[in-house]
Structure 1
Amino acid sequence: MSTPGTTDDAVRELLLVMPRLVGRIKRLPLPEQLRSLDLAPRHLSMLSLLLLDGPLTVSQLARMLGVAPTTVSLIVSDLSRRGVLVRREDDADRRRRIVDISPESRSAIAQWLTPGAHAWRQALAPLSPAQQRTFVDTMLRYEAAVSTQTQTAPASG
């Protein structure tokens, strides 16, 4: 048994809350317009950025998502073909393309993603900017640690 307030206590609490959190997120209803699109987490991340930050270039999206511009281009092409995203020329540099959520899809995507953004704002509001940064950095370290462990874990069988 561990002493109250230890790292093990925090780990225990997080191991209990994370499955509940993931379960609740998975049960969020997808708007009818988006159900047939078979959206993956990579789509969710890109759509979240475009919803929160507005139109962005492929390079900006790649940098923010931490992936190669070719990966972003493939996702943008896929979602553009399905009418979810639109691409237009950058007025400042006609060689660049600006990516945005299509007007026809914006309402459904906002309906789907806004509650999550609102919940994060509500959860982070009591924290100072430094505490918010510590929380985000902790989540990023956790993601990296889980990713490393899943890559090196032996296959069960």
Structure 2
Amino acid sequence: MPRMVGRAKRLAVPEELRSSALAPRHLSLLAYLLFDGPMTVNELAGRLEVAPATVSLMVGDLDKKGILERTSDPADRRRTIVSITEARRPAIEDWLGQSARAWRTALAPLTDAERALFTSTLAAYERALSDPEDAT
């Protein structure tokens, strides 16, 4: 597991994004927006398990750098939707997509039951890290 995490962390940031000084906290935010699509600050905060104010600061920073954009929700103008800008999407897809492609390659030969076992095992591992008493 440490070797996998180390390799994932060494994925080279695309040249056009290097000057943006992306920190590890930005990676999860960008991955959610890339793979799950545009969402609100509150939705991002829930997924990242941080306060909405923290996400707002990150979104504001990435908006100024031209990586993210904020638009009004057409269904409710009081809500703001966050998404990756079209100009930066290809670089982010190429960069973060490496990990997604690796997972698809690794999981492809497994049966549905084997994939379910694998993902439930990873979820149990995550729970055990966050709450050791929940691991039983």
Asked if TM exceeds 0.5, the reply is yes
- Indicate the residue corresponding to 2:103 in structure 1: 120
- Indicate the residue corresponding to 1:29 in structure 2: 12
* TM-score in terms of structure 2 length: 0.82
Query: Out of 48, 56, 68, which is 1:65 matched to?
Result: 48
Residues 67/135 of structure 1: CA separation in 2 closer, same or farther (3 Å cut)? farther
- Indicate the residue corresponding to 1:41 in structure 2: 24
* SS of 1:59 mapped into structure 2: helix
Q: Supply the AA of the counterpart residue of 1:32.
A: E
Offset of residue 131 of structure 1: 3.9
Residues 129/66 of structure 1: CA separation in 2 closer, same or farther (3 Å cut)? farther
The separation in 1 between residues aligned to 2:111 and 2:42, in whole angstroms, is 31
Q: Which structure is higher in RCO with an 8 Å CA cutoff and minimum separation 6?
A: 2
Offset of residue 62 of structure 1: 1.7
Q: Supply the AA of the counterpart residue of 1:97.
A: T
Residues 129/29 of structure 1: CA separation in 2 closer, same or farther (3 Å cut)? same
Structure 1: gaps of 5 or more residues: 1-17, 150-157
* SS of 1:136 mapped into structure 2: helix
Structure 2: gaps of 5 or more residues: none
Residues 144/37 of structure 1: CA separation in 2 closer, same or farther (3 Å cut)? farther
Alpha-carbon RMSD: 2.1
The separation in 2 between residues aligned to 1:76 and 1:43, in whole angstroms, is 9
The separation in 2 between residues aligned to 1:132 and 1:58, in whole angstroms, is 31
* TM-score in terms of structure 1 length: 0.72
- Indicate the residue corresponding to 2:121 in structure 1: 138
Q: Supply the AA of the counterpart residue of 2:40.
A: T
- Bigger CA radius of gyration: 1
- Indicate the residue corresponding to 1:4 in structure 2: none
Q: Which moved more, 1:26-35 or 1:76-85?
A: 26-35
Is 1:103 equivalent to 2:86 in the alignment?
Answer: yes
* SS of 1:48 mapped into structure 2: helix
Aligned length: 132
